[in-house]
Amino acid sequence: MPLANPVYIEAPTVAPAAGGLYAVANVLDNVDVHIGASGARYLSENCGVASTLEDPACITAEDRAEKTFGEIDVISGDPFAVYKGVQCVDMTDNDSDWARRGLELTEHIAVEQWVMENLLQGATDLTPTPGTPVPVRLGIAILEGAAAFSYGGTPTLHMARSAATIGLAEEALTFDLNYTITTKQGALVANGGGYEVNVGPTGATAPAGQAWLYITGAVTVARTPVIVNRVLGASEGLNLQQALAERMIAVTAECIKYAVLVELEI
């Protein structure tokens, strides 16, 4: 016997996933839409470290000539688009809000994947024996040490959520009441689902049972406002609605970019 039409009920309110890049990045909303054509950039005085000078009480002209002067770094990020499209048939509601909510809930995953596949490419591989993974706790230690030596600010680790789970089990990581992950020395940890693509600094995917960890300087995500476009009757003969929510984004990471290959075992 066929069932009667199901009763339409309210969909549950879903809380955004904790952690991830947006939990630790500097997120700038409603930036100029022209980032879609030219990306974003800023000047940073945070790159590089201070130097020492022997016997400063007797500085000569020759000493001054030997001092090093670094340029202020230009930090830039290329533009890309993120979008969420939905469609439905024979529904009378406006589905624009569906597309917008879908983008808001999952945008960070697409951005994290873009970061790993693009922004983190070319990172310096610090794996002690290239191609041979180290424990997650050792990988974190290597990256934190390298960052501390060459960057004065709070660095950002980038890793898959599965790798962060192991880091927590090994007590190399900790979390606050909002489940934002940090190392025990205060380095920020971006551990969203987009990093599960697990791409290395040369573009090759890590073998099964292994993962790439990265560390950079401060991360900034510049976002334009969300634009939603709706089309009715998108398919002949059907009452088809299509809605598309999209925005332009540029992500920057300043000064340092290192990587380590780790094994996903405790």
What's the domain count of the chain? Answer: 1
Task: Give the span between the Cα atoms of 104 and 115, in whole angstroms.
Answer: 18
pTM score, two decimals? 0.89
Which whole number is the average pLDDT over 240-265?
93
Residue 208 lies in a domain: yes
Q: What is the pLDDT of residues 61-107, one digit of tens each?
A: 555 556 777 778 899 999 999 999 888 775 556 678 888 988 999 99
First to last CA, the chain: 53
User: Helix (H, G, I), strand (E, B), or coil: what is residue 110?
Assistant: helix
Dihedral over Cα of 115, 121, 127, 130: its sign: positive
Residue 142 lies in a domain: yes
Whole-number Cα distances in Å, 235 to 92, 220, 231, 240: 16, 40, 10, 6
Encode burial over 68-107: b for 16+ CB neighbours within 10 A, e otherwise.
eeeeebebebebbebebebbeeeeeeebbebbbbbbeebb
Residue 182: the pLDDT is 97
Dihedral over Cα of 5, 11, 17, 18: its sign: negative
Residue 59: the pLDDT is 61
User: Helix (H, G, I), strand (E, B), or coil: what is residue 5?
Assistant: coil
Q: Which pLDDT band, with edges at 50, 70 and 90, does 46 fall under?
A: confident
Residue 57: the pLDDT is 61
Residue 65 lies in a domain: no
Task: Give the span between the Cα atoms of 239 and 174, in whole angstroms.
Answer: 51
pLDDT above 80 for 26 = yes
**CB-hemisphere CA count at 13 Å for 138?**
14
pLDDT above 60 for 234 = no
Which whole number is the average pLDDT over 25-41?
92
Residue 164 lies in a domain: yes
Q: Domain limits at 150?
A: 21-47+72-263
Residue 77 lies in a domain: yes
Is the Cβ–Cβ distance between 42 and 252 less than 8 Å? yes
Residue 196 lies in a domain: yes
Residue 3 lies in a domain: no
Q: Which pLDDT band, with edges at 50, 70 and 90, does 238 fall under?
A: low
Residue 6 lies in a domain: no
Percent of the residues in the chain that have a pLDDT greater than 90, as a whole number? 65
Residue 48: the pLDDT is 81
**CB-hemisphere CA count at 13 Å for 111?**
30
Task: Give the span between the Cα atoms of 107 and 111, in whole angstroms.
Answer: 6
